[in-house]
Amino acid sequence: MWFRILFLSVGVIVFNLIISTSIRGQNVYFKSYGGVFYYQGDLAPKPVDLSFGPGNWAWGFSAGYGLTKFLNIHLRYMNGNISGDDALSDSYDRRSRNLSFKSSLREYGTYSEIRINHFWKGLDKYKLRLYASAGLNLITFNPQSFYDQKWVYLQPLGTEGQTLPSGDKQVYKLSNWSRALGLSVEFDFSKTIAFGIEVNARKTWTDYLDDVSTHYPDREAMIRAGNILGAKLSDRSGEFLGTGVPKNAPNTPRGRSDKNDWYSFFGVYLKLTFGTSVILKSMSSIFSICYRHNQFLKNKIYLYAVNQGFEEIKKNKAAVTY
């Protein structure tokens, strides 16, 4: 029953969006995104800032509002994966380090967009809109590594000695923040539908997207503490060398703690724009449907009660006659 009401309500909204092409003052929009996340950090192929890990599919959506002719704000959700692998590096030292990871990555953000065309009128002749955007995201992640034919979550293992009783390192959190800067360009398909291309880089406040940041731990101490798997995954150089014995001494660099991790989104989006009057019209239609359905139910209940009353009267008459 409620599914049918919801289905009808969505139908009303879609219908109103279709006929909204003639409405002026459009300032509410929705976007759906598709593209790839690229990771930048300690397990990127090259030890430079603009070295990217493999691309991984990402998708998302946002809802926004045009505050002025040149300034928009929107809320945004993105869902994807990131990964990095020393095996992809040109450097023998990096390949012999032999670390790798993958992680889910979800972000919940708020963004502002500035329409460059408002200040650079010459862009209008190309029938496109150029935007510069900035945002702040709450992100969640959970790095894993492939070991012994299965994927293993790394954070609980404390691969840099975070779980050692005698250590002073804290286990890193699986949620953090990222700040975003990007550019996008849009082309109109119609008055309400546009296609966009976006490039957006996110700098995080964590160096543990990849589980790599500081120094190699004391593996013997980890083994004595019962964390055998954590000790094995903290230093996998022995697997690369074929000796089974790691080559790195405790407290030697495992990563670069002076630089936090980055990730970037490269993708496209479909944008649907309409006016606030369409929203109000759709909401009014939804309430109208719900009200009529509620009245219909009340009438059915009333008729059922009346019929039950007649049945009781008939039964009583039959008992008296008998």
| Domain at 137, CATH number | 2.40.160.20
Expressed as residue numbers, the domain containing 118 is 26-274
**Tens digits of pLDDT across the chain (322 residues):** 443 444 444 444 444 443 443 334 458 999 999 999 999 999 999 877 778 899 999 999 999 999 998 999 999 999 999 999 999 999 999 999 999 999 999 999 999 999 999 999 888 888 899 999 999 999 999 999 999 999 999 999 999 999 998 878 899 999 999 999 999 999 999 989 999 999 999 999 999 999 999 999 999 999 999 999 999 999 999 999 998 889 999 999 999 999 999 999 999 999 999 865 544 455 455 555 655 656 666 565 656 655 665 555 555 555 544 4
Considering the domain architecture, whether residues 136 and 15 belong to the same structural domain is answered as: no
Please tell me the distance from the alpha carbon of residue 103 to that of residue 145, in angstroms, as a whole number. Answer: 9
**Number of domains present in the structure of the chain:** 2
Secondary structure string (H, E, C) spanning 71-128: EEEEEEEEEEEEEEEHHHCCCHHHHHHCCEEEEEEEEEEEEEEEEHHHCCHHHHHHCC
Considering the domain architecture, whether residues 254 and 294 belong to the same structural domain is answered as: no
Considering the domain architecture, whether residues 93 and 8 belong to the same structural domain is answered as: no
Considering the domain architecture, whether residues 117 and 7 belong to the same structural domain is answered as: no
Q: What does residue 46 show for φ and ψ, rounded to 5 degrees?
A: -125, 150
Considering the domain architecture, whether residues 183 and 228 belong to the same structural domain is answered as: yes
CA angle 233, 239, 244 (to 5 degrees): 95
Please tell me the distance from the alpha carbon of residue 51 to that of residue 6, in angstroms, as a whole number. Answer: 47
Please tell me the distance from the alpha carbon of residue 154 to that of residue 183, in angstroms, as a whole number. Answer: 34
Sign (positive or negative) of CA dihedral 186, 189, 191, 194: negative
Considering the domain architecture, whether residues 30 and 14 belong to the same structural domain is answered as: no
Considering the domain architecture, whether residues 313 and 180 belong to the same structural domain is answered as: no
Structure confidence at residue 115 (pLDDT): 96
